[in-house]
Amino acid sequence: MKLRRAIKDARSEGELFRRRAVAGFVLILLGLAGLIGRYVFLQVERYDEFATRSENNRVKPLPIPPARGLIYDRNGVLLANNVPAFRLEVVPEQVKDMNAMLAQLGRVIPLGQDDLDAFHKQLKQSRRFESVPLKLRLTEDEIDRFAVNRWRFPGVDVVPYLNRRYPFGGLFAHVIGYVSRIDADDLARLDPSRYKGTTHVGRIGIERSYEDVLHGTPGYELVEVNADGRTQRVLQTHPATPGRNVYLSIDVRIQKAAEAAFDGKPGAAVAIDPRNGQVLAMVSVPTYDPNLFVDGISHADYDALTSAPDKPLLNRALRGVYPPGSTVKPYVALGGLELGLRTPQDTVLSTGTFYIPGQSRGYRDDRRGGFGTVNLRTAIMWSVNTYFYKLALDMGIDRFSAWMGKFGFGKPTGIDLDGEASGILPSREWKARRFKQAWYPGETVIAGIGQGYWAVTPLQLAHALATLAGRGTPYAPRLVMATQTGVDQPKIPLANPPSGPSLVTSQGNWQAVEQGMQMVVNDPRGTAYGLGKGFPYTIAGKSGTAERYSRRTDAYNENKSLAYLASRHRAWFEMFAPAEDPRIAVAVVLEEGAWGASSAGPIARKILDAWLATQPDAPPDTPLPPGGLPSVGAPPTAPAPPASSGEDQPAEASTQDTPP
Amino acid sequence: MIELLQVRMRRLLRRVLTRPRIDLPLAAGLLLLSMVGLATLYSAADGSVALVGGQAVRFVLGFALLLLISRIPPSTLRNWTPWLYAGSTLLLVVVAVLGEGRGADRWLNLGVMRFQPSELVKLTMPMMAAWYLHPRQLPPGWKDIAVVGVLIAIPAVLIARQPDLGTALLVAAAGAFALFLSGMAWWRIGLLLGGAGAMVPVVWHLPFIHQYQRERVLTLLNPESDPLGNGWHIIQSQIAVGSGGVFGKGWMHSSQSRLDFLPEHTTDFIFAVFSEEFGLVGVCLMVALYAFIIGRCLWIAMEARDTYSRLLAGAIGMSLFVYVFVNGGMVSGMLPVVGVPMPMVSYGGTSAVTLLTGFGMLMSIHAHRKRHD
């Protein structure tokens, strides 16, 4: 056997180490010699040059933060601007004893605990020679008092700056968002040289997603300083490049009307131009004042916002997910036509209950005894569940979810805002991923009427509706339609090409669905008859009512109290106009609405009225009676009660006889 | 009671003096270095007694730790090594998950104090490399080199991601020096260095190399292009160094830092203040002092009893060179700006305490050296 080589030879190892140590030391000496060579070069060769530069070194560059770009609505109404203000800044390096200085300064200018907390936080994060804001938005009185005492506080100065203001307050909070003071996480994320001297950064909304556009590039000025580091005079100025202005496609008039239409009830509405994906209005009710966040929100205000039961900070349009209910029926109908499973004339007999062949479980219609023989148009008009149960079953879940996915359900719409919710599009893969379970045919049936696993955001529904209204051509929703390098510069439109090919191959198919949706609003038998009254263009629409809780019994609910129903239902309405050549598509959800047509429908109609008033080519005889329209909760012109008209009942059929 | 304590103290003192566990030349070098460091800091901090006092307290703490560590035999250190290495690497992972810091996530908040695990790794890294190589057949083959390479890469990558390239470099160098001293064949070294050189363009594009780190390298080539950022540091630092000339402007007379032109002049750029005040002569003396300390460390290493002690002592000593070379190069505009302090001179507690702890190990190795009979 061979001896293992692993017997260590201590002596030769020691010798090896000795040689290496000597070699290492020689290399180190060479390295240090090289280092000294560099110092010889600087201190001997270039001594004269550097001595002169040091002698003349009284000049310092100071960053000039860029003015943030302004935000306008589509007609140039200012939605976010910059207001001149003054703040107190401290250069930590020039303060001998920070605590003593703050105590003394507190006697001259009152410093709140919030100010001090923010200051100490930022102090830790910044370098000692960089000035740190101590108190923002000084009053004139405070500025005067500081000016008198300034000599006592080396390193402290009053500095002018531009403060962000949102003149419309909460109206655009869920769209524009707000800026707030840069914190530690931002410092790690942002390019430090681009943010020299900048104190605020876009936190959410447009302010965040268009941060790069809005921020601009800082400039600097070369200033001569004295021995205390105080500026003596400015020698040279390299101005900052201000951020670009941004034009939203939203019209402030439609936005206002949409918010007002909710009358404070929690919900959301999104209006999109189907021809290009431009968002015309996007509201989430309730809302909050973004101005509170700009200089750091106080604990009291923040607690009030987070503990409010209506969750004003939640952007319901973007992140609220709700079961869509019957609003999906037009898309399912178009799928049946486009996939060749139905013609518009094919009929189905609605008897009040639908059975999957060979199964005893029943899926209900909204009207006891059913609607009789219906075709595609009347099925949409009456919102006949049986028609869509059968159609979904014939499609099968795979074709169903592939088709509905083309309308953008179950994935972000690609709007130019961060934080969009994806919702849920029921599919075999989704269920396998989420529950690790197989798919049952009964789940396909109820998916056909927007129940079951379904969850969509108001933005998703508006996007799907805009795609449908635009004859199948999908556009990613866009809030920003143009940017501008300065107020007197031309607007540069942002291109938004279609995000895919048209979903509609036959105009006949499209027209059949569109006619069904017209009948919802304009046919006396329609679930939302009356909503189109007095509007110069034809409106097409579809209601939806989804239950918030699972139904526990098989019995039809006999409690018709609107307040009771509102506490149980989520009301949807989607509508577009003009029906033949759609220019606006609106989706509305009301979190506590008794019925889609009577609760959410009037809100959608008010948004259309506001849009109409902004159209230059509106027919001259446009009647716009203020208050003459059906109002939420008290529907004088709204359809008759559901039992008689067959208004779209919440059809949580899925749970009525779930297997034990 | 008190008398008993006095007797014990006296006995300890006698033992320290008669059979010193510490290497007097090394201790003298370190003491001299810390004195020069404090004097330079006093000037750079514009006569701030509070700042210098704080640093002096840390030095005292560091020297106390040095004495304490010097009493732990190298065999005990060796037994602890894998645990210390694993523990410190784990802390790096913890920092990566929930760390906080100014911009860079390097710190672990322990409630009472904030603590930088990467400092710990500067010591546990050479310990681990020495521990691994200790029982192996030396010079090491590819397999052992690869294992040490992985042991180096784990903490180095974690630290580089924080991002703290300077410390990552120091840690990697400490491990690499252990390999070098273990007798790794020159051709293997050449091959690896050549390979590493070829990898530079790849590393440049690695996702965890921050844009600002790339820019630091780029501004080095043309400092005037970035008057607000790093270019400013480099230019001002070079003006400070160059205007010092051969004999310097004299202590407390550095105009560059006095007038606030030199950023970070108490920490990373303090050597620029030193160069401005003491000129080329001062720089040469300072570098000579560092060279003496490094040489003494290697001497202690050569006299050590076993492989572990030799490699550990040698690697710690040679790491000191990286500090001096990188900081000196960065201050003079020869190397990019990475956060490497000038040892015992730059303001900042953790770094000095770590260094002195490392020298404590050297003292222990010295005390347990081979006896020449």
pLDDT tens digits for range A535-553: 999 999 999 988 765 444 4
- Residue B74: cis peptide before it, omega within 30 degrees of 0: no
Using one digit for the tens of pLDDT, what is the confidence trace for B36-89?
999 999 988 877 788 899 899 989 989 998 988 888 889 999 999 999 999 999
B30 lies in a domain?
yes
Closest CA to A590 of A627, A650, A545, A648: A545
The total of structural domains in chain B comes to: 1
The residue ranges of every structural domain in chain A are 61-248, 260-279+316-476+501-655
- Residue A286: cis peptide before it, omega within 30 degrees of 0: yes
Whole-number percent of chain B with pLDDT over 90: 44
- Residue A642: cis peptide before it, omega within 30 degrees of 0: no
> What pLDDT, on the 0 to 100 scale, is given for residue A57?
66
Which residues in chain A show pLDDT less than 50?
1-5, 550-555, 620-660
Both structure tokens of B123:
């010591």
Q: Which of A249, A326, A383, A427 is catalytic?
A: A326
Both structure tokens of B329:
């190069």
Integer angstrom CA distances of residue A558 from A564, A565, A598, A641, B150 = 11, 11, 18, 12, 73
> What pLDDT, on the 0 to 100 scale, is given for residue A468?
94
Q: Please give, rounded to a whole number of angstroms, the shortest distance from the CA of B85 to a CA of chain A.
A: 24
Element (H, E) at A178: strand A178-181
Q: Domain A260-279+316-476+501-655: which CATH class? A: alpha beta
Closest CA to A274 of A600, A602, A578, A501: A578
Contacts of residue B353, defined as CB under 8 A and 6 or more positions apart, other chains included, come to B58, B61, B62, B65, B119
What confidence category does residue B107 fall into, taking pLDDT thresholds of 50, 70 and 90? low
B10 lies in a domain?
no
A88-117 residues touching B, CB cutoff 8 A: 93, 96
> What pLDDT, on the 0 to 100 scale, is given for residue B221?
67
CB A254 within 8 A of CB A610: yes
Residue of A nearest to B227 (CA): A61
Q: Sheet of A231-238: strands edge to edge?
A: A59-64, A219-225, A231-238
Which among A38, A187, A225 has the least Cβ separation from residue B334? Answer: A38
B47 lies in a domain?
yes
Going through A338-477 in order, the beta strands assigned E by DSSP cover 348-350, 353-355, 362-364, 372-374
How far apart, in whole angstroms, are the C-alpha atoms of residue A474 and residue A467?
A: 5
Element (H, E) at A309: none
> What pLDDT, on the 0 to 100 scale, is given for residue A157?
87
Q: Please give, rounded to a whole number of angstroms, the shortest distance from the CA of B232 to a CA of chain A.
A: 9
CB A583 within 8 A of CB A336: no
User: Does A3 or B120 have the greater pLDDT score?
Assistant: B120
Per-state percent for chain A, helix, strand, coil, to nearest 5: 40, 20, 40
How far apart, in whole angstroms, are the C-alpha atoms of residue A636 and residue A268?
A: 23
A326 is catalytic: yes
Integer angstrom CA distances of residue B26 from A568, B13, B110, B296, B297 = 82, 19, 34, 6, 8
Going through A273-378 in order, the beta strands assigned E by DSSP cover 279-285, 348-350, 353-355, 362-364, 372-374
B277 lies in a domain?
yes
> What pLDDT, on the 0 to 100 scale, is given for residue A186?
75
B31 lies in a domain?
yes
Both structure tokens of B206:
């690695």
Spell out which residues of chain A touch residue B301, defining contact as CB-CB under 8 Å.
17, 21
CB A497 within 8 A of CB A276: no
Note the pTM of the prediction, 2 decimals: 0.64
Q: Please give, rounded to a whole number of angstroms, the shortest distance from the CA of A25 to a CA of chain B.
A: 7
Inspect the interface and report whether the beta carbons of B243 and A54 lie closer than 8 Å.
yes
B165 lies in a domain?
yes
The reply to whether A308 touches chain B by the CB within 8 Å rule is no
| Domain hosting residue B121, numbered range | 23-367
According to CATH, the topology of domain A61-248 is Penicillin-binding protein 2a (Domain 2) (3.90.1310)
Cβ atoms within 10 Å of A339's Cβ, excluding its own: 15
